[in-house]
């Protein structure tokens, strides 16, 4: 076995690859996060190649559409989980990876199907993303579906359903607001650390290859909606909670995961402002938003 260690949002992951599997080729986006062993691990995962395990004796939780790809979810009598991770339908929808875990996702096994390497990459990347999100759920850690820009030392998150314009808006900041750089374009990690909300880059960034091992305090979180006029307001806590929860990777049927995520969001809302932005995809939208949410001082 070839063991690799990765530090993501200050959480240590141990991934053991079976002989013959190339870690760098399978998960190239993890390269900036490689580290030395040391300290306790958030999770450990064994990765091998083989046939799909038999999940017929497990209870089926459901079949879920995850960005155009189907994930079958099953649970055993011991509380452990199994996931069938299929390719997006546009790529044929074939099974690419099967993930099995214990109840708290600290011990995992990913079986890669004998499919082309880029399909194995997709499966393992998704397996690690889910294992990370659910193992960290009780550790004041959120994997957020957002695009995040950094300005003047602070990270600003933009959430919205896919295709609404998160990436467009961060690009407008980058183009028109001096001193901006992109931290992550799809799945950054948010942590509460010593009473402060911190945003971290991650190995998961959707279609934009932005895999940066960096962090910054969070300046604000903004929910985007397309509107004919550019307008912004700060949300009340209840509204902010209702808008932020769907943007966080979660499992509502798992009491441990769901409670951990809800508790973390509640802590976040006491520390971090959340805004609603109705906007067009133009320069004015970036400037209106920037003036409302930027940290002054």
* CA nearest to 264, candidates 272, 71, 155: 272
The pLDDT of residue 68 is 80
Kindly list the domain boundaries of the chain, sorted by start residue. 2-135, 141-293
Angle between helix axes 166-176 and 283-293 (nearest 10 degrees) is 80
Q: How far apart are CA 113 and CA 189, in angstroms?
A: 28
* CA nearest to 81, candidates 252, 246, 254: 254
pLDDT digits (tens, 9 = 90+) for 66-94: 878 899 999 999 999 999 999 988 888 99
The pLDDT of residue 217 is 98
Please state which architecture CATH assigns to domain 141-293.
Answer: 3-Layer(aba) Sandwich (3.40)
| CA distance readout (Å), 242 to 262, 266, 274 | 10, 11, 11
What lies within 8 Å, CB to CB, of 6 at 6+ separation is: 12, 13, 15, 30, 33, 34, 35, 203
Q: Are strands 34-35 and 154-159 parallel, antiparallel or unpaired?
A: unpaired
Q: Is the dihedral of CA 156, 157, 163, 167 positive or negative?
A: positive
Please tell me the pTM assigned to this model.
Answer: 0.96
The pLDDT of residue 253 is 95
* CA nearest to 46, candidates 84, 73, 19, 24: 19
* CA nearest to 145, candidates 164, 119, 120: 164
The pLDDT of residue 26 is 97
Q: Are strands 43-49 and 11-17 parallel, antiparallel or unpaired?
A: parallel
The pLDDT of residue 172 is 97
Q: What angle do CA 108, 112, 1 make, to 5 degrees?
A: 65
Q: How far apart are CA 280 and CA 164, in angstroms?
A: 11
Measured in degrees and rounded to the nearest 5, phi and psi for residue 37 equal -65, 150
The pLDDT of residue 9 is 98
Q: Point out the residues of the chain with pLDDT beneath 70.
A: none
């Amino acid at each position: 076995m070839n063991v690799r260690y990765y530090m993501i949002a200050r959480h240590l992951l141990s991934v053991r690859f079976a002989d013959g599997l190339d870690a760098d080729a399978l998960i190239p986006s993890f390269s900036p996060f490689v580290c030395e062993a040391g300290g306790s691990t958030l999770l450990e995962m064994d990765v091998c190649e083989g046939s799909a395990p038999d999940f017929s004796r497990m209870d089926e939780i459901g079949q879920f559409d995850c960005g155009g790809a189907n994930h079958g979810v099953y649970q055993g009598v011991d509380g452990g989980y199994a996931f069938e991770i299929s390719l997006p339908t546009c790529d044929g929808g074939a099974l690419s990876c099967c993930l099995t875990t214990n109840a708290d996702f600290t011990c995992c096994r990913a079986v890669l199907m004998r499919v082309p390497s880029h399909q194995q990459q997709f499966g393992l990347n998704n397996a690690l993303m889910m294992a990370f999100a659910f193992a960290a759920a009780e550790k004041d850690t959120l994997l957020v579906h957002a695009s995040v820009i950094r300005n003047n030392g602070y990270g600003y998150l933009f959430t919205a359903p896919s295709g609404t314009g998160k990436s467009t808006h961060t690009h407008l900041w980058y183009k028109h607001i001096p001193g901006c750089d992109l931290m992550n374009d799809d799945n950054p990690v948010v942590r509460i650390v010593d009473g402060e909300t911190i945003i971290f880059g991650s190995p998961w960034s959707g279609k934009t290859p932005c895999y940066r091992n960096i962090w910054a305090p969070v300046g604000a979180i903004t929910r985007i909606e397309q509107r004919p006029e550019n307008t912004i307001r700060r949300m009340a806590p209840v509204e902010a909670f209702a808008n932020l929860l769907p943007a966080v990777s979660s499992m509502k049927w798992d009491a441990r995961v769901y409670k951990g995520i809800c508790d973390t969001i509640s802590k976040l809302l006491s520390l971090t402002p959340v805004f609603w932005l109705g906007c067009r995809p133009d320069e004015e939208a970036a400037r209106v938003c920037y003036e409302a949410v930027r940290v002054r001082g």
